[in-house]
């Protein structure tokens, strides 16, 4: 299957700082990428849909000013958690759609810990 | 999105077939059924998807009932590495937006 990478895989930061997470589709062009968050023992929760060259669409209850999404190219989307707080500690996962195959491929996830 | 219902947990013996059911009674005619799994602390992994016909790939088989209101994912010879949470998802529209439910936690026993 297609490969989606995330960087970093793990990050620890201090409260009040901002953290950027990158999501790359390595062997296909993804016009649409998605960002999810997963708390321990819970299912994935969709945060936003990221479309190349346009503003992201956020799910209800997700603060767009706190979770900044940029999809500048067909292979890269970034999620920036601004002014992170301990409650933002979570597993952040991105996915990218390969329209030709009708499939969506997920990255390995980024574990964010805010101290 | 069509709602899906899955058992909370299942188990099977290593080497045996694992049959994971999913109900999607409100599915409409052009909606696909997707299956993903998530092994602990990893991103979800695509398994298979189908519309009407049964599908098979190197990982699994997908059996969809004729009325399309339910489906079964079959892992023909489960291994310990198949222990994971399995998600049955019906995206519902052309955006391929996947909404994850609770899934089925499959435990493969030695």
> Which residue out of A106, A110, A111, A113 would a mutagenesis test of the B interface target, given it has the greatest number of B Cβ atoms within 10 Å?
A106
Per the model's pLDDT, the better-predicted residue between B98 and A92 turns out to be A92
Chain-wide mean pLDDT for chain A?
92
Q: What is the pLDDT of residues B15-41, one digit of tens each?
A: 999 999 999 998 887 888 999 999 988
Contacting residues for A98 by C-beta, under 8 A, at least 6 apart = A2, A25, A28, A30, A104, A105
Question: Is the pLDDT score of B56 beyond 90?
Answer: yes
State the Cα–Cα distance between residues B78 and B17, nearest whole angstrom. Answer: 6
Confidence (pLDDT) at A1: 63
Per the model's pLDDT, the better-predicted residue between B58 and A54 turns out to be B58
Q: Give the residue among B35, B14, B36, B7 at the shortest CA–CA distance from B105.
A: B7
CB contact under 8 A, A104 and B46: yes
pLDDT band at B3, cuts 50/70/90? confident
Question: Is the pLDDT score of B94 beyond 80?
Answer: no
CB contact under 8 A, B96 and A106: no
Q: What is the pLDDT of residues A55-68, one digit of tens each?
A: 899 999 999 999 99
Which chain B residues are closer than 8 Å to A4 by Cβ? 43
Confidence (pLDDT) at B93: 65
Q: Are A21 and A71 in contact (CB under 8 A)?
A: no
Confidence (pLDDT) at A97: 86
Pick from A43, A93, A95: CB nearest B102: A43
CB contact under 8 A, B45 and A106: yes
Report chain A residues touching chain B, CB-CB < 8 A.
1, 4, 6, 32, 34, 36, 43-46, 49, 91, 93, 95, 97, 99, 102-109, 111
Q: What is the pLDDT of residues A40-96, one digit of tens each?
A: 989 999 999 998 888 899 999 999 999 999 988 889 999 999 999 999 999 999 999
CB contact under 8 A, A43 and B49: no
Q: Where are the beta strands (DSSP E) in chain A?
A: 4-7, 10-13, 19-25, 32-38, 45-51, 57-58, 67-73, 76-81, 90-98, 103-106, 110-114
Instruction: Kindly report the backbone phi and psi dihedral angles of residue B36, in degrees, each rounded to the nearest multiple of 5, phi listed first.
Output: -130, 160
CB contact under 8 A, A43 and B100: yes
Distance from CA of B14 to the nearest CA of A (A): 25
State the Cα–Cα distance between residues A88 and B75, nearest whole angstrom. Answer: 36
Confidence (pLDDT) at A33: 93
**H or E element at residue A1:** none
Question: Is the pLDDT score of B95 beyond 90?
Answer: no
Q: Are A21 and A113 in contact (CB under 8 A)?
A: no
Mean pLDDT of A5-15: 97
């Amino acid at each position: 299957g297609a490969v989606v990478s995330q960087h970093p895989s793990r990050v620890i930061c201090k409260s009040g700082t901002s953290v950027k997470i990158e999501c790359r589709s390595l062997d296909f062009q993804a016009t649409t990428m998605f960002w999810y968050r997963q708390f321990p023992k819970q299912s994935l929760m969709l945060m936003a849909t990221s479309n190349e060259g346009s503003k992201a669409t956020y799910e209800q209850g997700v603060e767009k000013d706190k979770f900044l999404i940029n999809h500048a190219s067909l292979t890269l989307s970034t999620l920036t958690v601004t002014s992170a707080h301990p409650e933002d500690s979570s597993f952040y996962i991105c996915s990218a759609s390969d329209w030709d195959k009708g499939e969506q491929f997920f990255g390995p996830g980024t574990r964010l810990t805010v101290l | 999105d069509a709602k899906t219902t899955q058992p909370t947990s299942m188990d099977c013996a290593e080497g045996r077939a694992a049959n994971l059911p999913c109900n999607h009674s409100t599915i409409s005619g052009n909606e696909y059924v997707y299956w993903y799994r998530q092994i602990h602390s990893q991103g979800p992994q695509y398994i298979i998807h189908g519309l009407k016909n049964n599908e098979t790939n190197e990982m699994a088989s997908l059996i969809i009932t004729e009325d399309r209101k339910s489906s079964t994912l079959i892992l023909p010879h489960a291994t310990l590495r198949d222990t994971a949470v399995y998600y049955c998802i019906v995206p519902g529209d052309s955006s391929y937006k996947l909404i994850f439910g609770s899934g089925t936690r499959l435990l493969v026993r030695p």
